[in-house]
Amino acid sequence: MNARVRGEERRAEIVRAALEVIAERGYRGASLAAVAERVGLTQQGLMHHFPTKDALLVAVLQERDRWDAVPDSRWRVDLLAALVEYNAMRPGIVQTFSALLGESVTDDHPARAFFSERYTRVRASMAEMLRSEYGDRLPNGLTPERTAPLLVAVMDGLQYQWLLDPASVDMPGAFRDFLRLLGERPD
């Protein structure tokens, strides 16, 4: 069993390194050799754990899934603001998945289906959260279903502006501004 643990630890190390390299170069630009070197392996040593480059990407995306797999019903608007604040302290992770999202809109990208399904899921989750928070009508008159895409868009869009120019963009502050836009909370 020690062997199994050691193997899984190695896999985790590799995924961590892959996150870094993807942040720096994107997925297409991330070579297996570069990832391998970062964990002190040869490219072929890495391919013992992940038989193809796509297999490694799948592991990276699963890592993301594990990250935001918080029970939907527990989400609240103020927790979302806290998440944005947390993200602002991890530029690396944000950069990885912003780069990946950008690439995914190109044809036949291996991460396309992942992101497509993820957004469908996240929008539904956000709508549910908004409904439990505000009811069927937000203070501004919109429905939760029509607000959810905007909420998601603001989060993503702010990330790009912030990554490109962290000094000029106060990502958490701007997000709180948007929440205020949604309507005063019924505290």
Partner DNA sequence: AACGAAACCTACCAGTCGACAGGTGACCGA
Partner DNA sequence: TCGGTCACCTGTCGACTGGTAGGTTTCGTT
Select 45 or 139, whichever has its Cβ closest to DNA.
45
146 forms part of the interface with a copy of itself (CB under 8 A)? yes
Q: Which of 40, 51, 71, 141 binds a copy of itself (CB under 8 A)?
A: 141
Dist. CA 3–CA 27, nearest whole Å? 30
- DSSP letter for each residue of the chain: -HHHHHHHHHHHHHHHHHHHHHHHHHHHH--HHHHHHHTT--HHHHHHHSSSHHHHHHHHHHHHHHHT---GGG--HHHHHHHHHHHTT-HHHHHHHHHHHHHHTSTT-TTHHHHHHHHHHHHHHHHHHHHHHH-SS-TTS--HHHHHHHHHHHHHHHHHHHHH-TTT--HHHHHHHHHHHH-----
Select 11 or 91, whichever has its Cβ closest to a copy of itself.
91
Select 49 or 88, whichever has its Cβ closest to a copy of itself.
88
18 forms part of the interface with a copy of itself (CB under 8 A)? no
**With contact defined as beta carbons under 8 Å apart, do 143 and 91 qualify?**
no
161 forms part of the interface with a copy of itself (CB under 8 A)? yes
Select 49 or 84, whichever has its Cβ closest to DNA.
49
Select 110 or 183, whichever has its Cβ closest to DNA.
110
* Rg over CA atoms, the chain: 19
Smallest CA-to-CA distance from 22 within 13, 33, 31 is with 31
CB of 62 to DNA, least distance (A): 18
70 forms part of the interface with a copy of itself (CB under 8 A)? no
- 60 contact, one of DNA, a copy of itself, none, CB 5-8 Å limit per kind: none
CB of 19 to DNA, least distance (A): 15
- 73 contact, one of DNA, a copy of itself, none, CB 5-8 Å limit per kind: none
34 forms part of the interface with a copy of itself (CB under 8 A)? no
- 110 contact, one of a copy of itself, DNA, none, CB 5-8 Å limit per kind: none
